[in-house]
Amino acid sequence: MDYYQGVVTDYLRADRAVFVNIECCIQLDEGGNPDEFPGRHWYCDAVAVNFRDRAVFLCEITYSAAQDALLRRLKAWHSHWDELKVALVRDLHVPSDWKVRPWAFIPEAC
């Protein structure tokens, strides 16, 4: 984890109602090895589960001036949104009625 990711995860963890899982593998297909399903899994920089708000935030953290990779990730999630939410319920045991939202962290200079 680099410095900027550490700053973001410290920010997220400052709220004691939030649990943070860094480098969390989200795989659409059930199974032990995500590499068996190329293009059907992502390592999310941080998944923040907010118990107070009953919400899950898929946090992507970037300090790159070019946002192409972030946009590709968000588009991929959008294309598989229903499957992604099913995977969170199945693998992270998040209640199915909780809100799920992406949250991008980008320095103001970028």
Tell the residue number behind the tokens 């990711």, with chain if given: 5
Hey, what domains does the chain have and what are their CATH numbers? 3-105 (3.40.1350)
pLDDT at 36 over 80: no
pLDDT grade for 23, boundaries at 50, 70 and 90: very high
pLDDT, position 1: 58
Query: Rounded mean pLDDT of 11-28?
Result: 95
* Of the candidate ranges 9-13, 17-21, 26-30, 106-110, the one whose mean pLDDT is the lowest: 106-110
Q: Name, in order, each residue with C-beta under 8 angstroms of 48's C-beta and a sequence gap of 6 or more.
A: 12, 18, 19, 20, 56, 57, 59, 103
Percent of the chain with pLDDT over 90: 72
pLDDT, position 110: 73
